[in-house]
């Protein structure tokens, strides 16, 4: 649910930004959302591959891959802001896409638990 919600939130926020905001702000939302969504998918893939029984990986390998993605993301964000390609506030909103989808998924699960107990 979270991975699908990431793309839905990104599309919705990007479309809203294109309709109602300045181009740099909309680019910030779109690029920020792409950065965080791709990172989330790569992290999920790394964890699935590393924790599946025949190919258990060391936690050091997992952490190394995480930090490589983190540094690459930082360089991309630095480049986008330093070249004034995006608005920093729009970038911040775009980078919040995964957080928003996690909050939504948590709310849905809590709602399911509450109504399951009420029945």
Each residue's pLDDT tens digit, 22-37: 999 999 999 999 999 9
Q: Does the pTM of the predicted model rise above 0.85?
A: yes
| Tally of structural domains, the chain | 1
Radius of gyration (Cα) for the chain, nearest Å? 17
Note the pLDDT tens digit of each residue in 35-72: 999 999 999 999 988 888 887 888 898 999 999 999 99
Distance, in Å, from the CA atom of 98 to the CA atom of 95, rounded to the nearest integer, reads: 7
Helix boundaries (H) for 1-119? 2-20, 23-51, 59-82, 88-95, 97-118
Lowest mean pLDDT among 13-17, 52-56, 81-85, 103-107: 52-56
Note the pLDDT tens digit of each residue in 95-110: 999 999 999 999 999 9
Please give the pLDDT value at position 50.
87
Q: Which domain holds residue 57?
A: 2-118
């Amino acid at each position: 649910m979270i991975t699908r919600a990431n793309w839905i939130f990104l599309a919705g926020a990007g479309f809203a930004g294109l309709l109602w905001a300045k181009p740099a702000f909309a680019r910030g939302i779109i690029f920020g959302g792409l950065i965080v969504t791709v990172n989330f998918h790569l992290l999920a893939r790394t964890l699935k591959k590393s924790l599946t029984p025949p190919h258990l990986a060391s936690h050091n390998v997992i952490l190394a891959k995480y930090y490589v993605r983190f540094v690459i993301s930082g360089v991309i964000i630095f480049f986008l802001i330093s070249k004034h390609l995006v608005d920093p506030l729009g970038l911040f909103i775009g980078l919040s896409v995964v957080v928003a989808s996690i909050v939504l998924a948590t709310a849905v699960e809590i709602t399911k638990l509450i109504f399951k107990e009420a029945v």
